[in-house]
């Protein structure tokens, strides 16, 4: 099975859901996803660094840029110990159709769980790629990443919510 990384019909989507390392690991496993890049989005500062995003009021959140094949995966598919503005849960939309799909999905989840969804819905503007140290962190620093992930109880929390 061969995926053309540069196919014109590939699409990009942007999500934020806490730590971008964890987002990268989760989306890398999804069939139809071509690439996942860690970065920052949603703020006012141009070309922010990790320190800008985490330690100043840049307005950015840790986010991922996902390139996917729309023939295999649709846009409408689906934080833990990460605290602070840069770890807010955000879904970015590029057009009205995406915004409508997001809002419909949120309303459905709120009804199913009988709770308010706190994921923010923002218009996508610009994505800034994070420093190379953060790319593929969960693979390149596997033991350190597992300790972080286990310490945050990410897996256990997700199982409690969805099972």
Secondary structure (DSSP) of 45-101: SSS--HHHHHHS----EEEEEEEE-TTT--S-----S--SGGG-EEEEESSHHHHHH
Sign of CA dihedral 4, 65, 28, 102: negative
Q: What is the pLDDT of residue 2?
A: 42
Q: What is the pLDDT of residue 100?
A: 95
Rounded distance, CA 73 to CA 31, Å?
A: 7
> pLDDT category, 80, cuts 50, 70, 90?
very low
The reply to whether the predicted model has a pTM over 0.85 is no
Residues annotated as part of the active site: 19
User: Of 65, 76, 129, 81, whose CA–CA distance to 99 is shortest?
Assistant: 76
Map tokens 């799909």 to a residue. Answer: 101
pLDDT above 70: percentage of residues in the chain: 83
Q: Write b or e for each residue in 117-142: b if 16 or more Cβ atoms lie within 10 A of its Cβ, otherwise e.
A: eebeebebeebbebeeebbbbbeeee
Please compute the mean of the pLDDT values over residues 94-111 and round it to a whole number.
93
Rounded distance, CA 50 to CA 131, Å?
A: 7
Q: What is the mean pLDDT of the chain?
A: 84
Q: CB 68: neighbour CB atoms within 10 A?
A: 23
Contacts of 137 (CB under 8 A, 6+ apart): 21, 24, 38, 145
Higher pLDDT, 143 or 53: 53
DSSP 9: T
Please compute the mean of the pLDDT values over residues 17-23 and round it to a whole number.
87
Q: What are phi and psi of 81, to 5 degrees?
A: -95, 0
């Amino acid at each position: 099975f061969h995926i053309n990384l540069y196919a014109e019909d590939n699409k990009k989507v942007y999500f934020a859901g806490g730590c971008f390392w964890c987002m990268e690991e989760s989306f890398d496993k999804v069939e139809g996803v071509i690439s996942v890049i860690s970065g920052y989005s949603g703020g006012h500062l141009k070309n922010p660094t990790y320190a800008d995003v985490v330690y100043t009021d840049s307005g950015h959140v840790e986010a991922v840029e996902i390139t996917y094949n729309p023939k295999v995966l649709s846009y409408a598919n689906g934080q833990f110990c990460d605290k602070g503005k840069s770890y807010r849960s955000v879904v970015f939309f590029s057009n009205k159709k995406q915004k409508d799909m997001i809002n419909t999905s949120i309303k459905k989840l709120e009804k199913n769980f009988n709770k308010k969804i706190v994921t923010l819905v923002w218009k996508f503007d610009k994505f800034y790629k994070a420093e190379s140290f953060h790319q593929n962190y969960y693979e390149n620093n596997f033991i350190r990443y597992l300790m972080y992930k286990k310490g945050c109880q990410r897996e256990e929390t997700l199982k409690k919510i969805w099972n």
